[in-house]
Amino acid sequence: MARHAARALRASVAGLVLASGACKATTLDERTCPPAGTTLTYEAFGAPFLAQHCQRCHGAAPSDREGAPSSFDFGTHADVHRHKDRIFVRSAADNTTMPPGPDDPTPEERERLAEWLSCGAP
Ligand code: HEC
């Protein structure tokens, strides 16, 4: 419980720092889809990425969310489209405030997430 609280606190601090603009995040608008498009799809990339790295908190019951806001679930393709700007700003490319650790996606995975989202998360 204490560990969860500490992690939630760390995550909130990261969110606040980000919101205050103290640390400049790359946004989805700043990223363009490669000219050749993307081969990444929701089924082959997006869903498994979010399941592995996000849904442990974001898709859990209220008691197991470790502070993840109830309005932010990423369990469906529609959820991803609805939240794509925020998913990008917290987790894609050089943005690393989500997940709050310790099992972070690799930089390559964050790059793939950026490419997929910038192409409209097909
Ligand atoms: C260990 C639990 C945990 C995991 C795993 C996790 N989150 Fe979060 N998430 C939180 C908590 C706690 C908050 C609220 C505090 C904050 O915003 O930093 C939050 C808030 C958010 C928000 C809403 C606030 C905003 O900035 O719009 C988004 C979006 C988000 N997380 C994206 C993600 C993504 C994408 C992943 C996976 C790559 C992820 N999170 C993985 C705990 C988690």
CA of 12 to the centre of ligand 1 (A): 9
What's the chain's average pLDDT?
A: 90
10 Å Cβ neighbour count for 26? 14
pLDDT at position 16 over 90: no
Q: Which of 14-23, 74-83, 96-105 has the lowest mean pLDDT?
A: 14-23
User: Using CA positions, which residue lies closest to atom 25 of ligand 1?
Assistant: 86
CA of 95 to the centre of ligand 1 (A): 12
Alpha helices per DSSP H over the chain: 2-20, 47-53, 55-58, 77-91, 107-118
56-66 confidence digits (pLDDT tens)? 999 999 999 99
What pTM was estimated for this model as a whole?
Answer: 0.87
| CA 105/CA 13 separation, integer angstroms | 20
Q: Name the band, by pLDDT with cuts 50, 70 and 90, for residue 18.
A: low
Cα distance between the two ends of the chain: 38
Q: Which atom of ligand 1 is nearest to the CA of 113?
A: 38
Q: Which of 7-21, 76-90, 99-113 has the lowest mean pLDDT?
A: 7-21
| CA 104/CA 49 separation, integer angstroms | 11
| Domain range summary for the chain, segments of one domain joined by + | 2-118
85-113 confidence digits (pLDDT tens)? 999 999 999 999 999 999 999 999 999 99
Write the CB contacts of 39 (distance below 8 Å, at least 6 apart in sequence): none
